[in-house]
A and B are shown apart, each in its own frame.
Chain A
Amino acid sequence: MLELRLVQGSLLKKVLDAIKDLVTDANFDCSESGFSLQAMDSSHVALVALLLRSDGFEHYRCDRNLSMGMNLTNMSKMLKCAGNDDIITIKADDGGDSVTFMFESPSQDKVSDFEMKLMDIDSEHLGIPETEYHAIVKMPSAEFARICRDLSTIGDTVVISVSKDGVKFSTSGDIGSANVVCRQNNSVDNKDNETVIEMNEPVSLTFALRYLNSFTKATTLSNTVTLSMSKELPVVVEYKIAEIGHIRFYLAPKIED
């Protein structure tokens, strides 16, 4: 028996919006610690890892570890039927072949339930090692989204370079080239507007912009985004989900042959 009640149901709607274009089918894993997902995109270039901790739910009952295969397009269709202020409860029976999403309006005068068929998904679970990153950049998520969107009108790939001067995003294409440099700044009024750079050593990596643009669909989940980078390793693009968890996107770099 599984029963997870999320008062801020809009978070789940936003999570689905953030990942449904990157991943088609995925297993949601439910355990004592929380509700999580790990999935690669179809071309195996990016990986998404979601965690919603059990303590972030108003009610969290998970009698035994359960892995539920879901088609994210279909799940998103169902969650779109929930109001933004609705409380969402996810229910499933052990060994069942369906999951139920229950939506309650804030005033409790409307209750809906949507049952979705589960599917068997054969997916490989990857171990992500703890890494000391060469550079970690925290910046406003809207700013990062803007840069990725702007640069993708010029080129297909971006070089992200972190140095003591700041973080530089560079691209080039048929019509020309572009560089955007963000320097560290400290905002007295609002921490969310800060760009903070922690650098142990300079790092420069090349990535496909279309994946980064896809990750920025998570912008609505958090005012800030963190980019963690090390030489010749995947970048981690992390959005914290208020009080409950995070969504992390890992993107493999482009490396000289």
Chain B
Amino acid sequence: MKKQQSISRFFTAT
């Protein structure tokens, strides 16, 4: 089962 990822997982907060 593929799970929807969160976009913030891929980018870092600045």
Contact = CB atoms under 8 A, between A and B. Distances in A.
Interface of A: 40, 44-47, 124-129, 157, 206, 208, 233-234, 250-257
Contact of B11 (A127, A251, A253): A127
Interface residues of B, number: 14
Secondary structure of the A side of the interface?
Answer: strand
17 contacts: A40-B7, A44-B6, A46-B7, A124-B13, A125-B14, A126-B11, A126-B12, A127-B11, A129-B12, A233-B10, A234-B10, A250-B10, A252-B5, A253-B5, A254-B5, A255-B5, A256-B3
A255 B8 CA distance: 15
Contacts of B3: 254-257
A255 B6 CA distance: 11
Contacts, number: 59
A234 B7 contact: yes
Contact of A126 (B2, B4, B14): B14
Contacts of B8: 40, 44, 124, 126
Contacts of A40: 7-8
Secondary structure of the B side of the interface?
Answer: mixed
What are the 3 A-B residue pairs with the smallest beta carbon separation, nearest first? A126-B11, A254-B2, A252-B5
Contacts of A255: 2-3, 5
B9 to A, nearest CB: 7
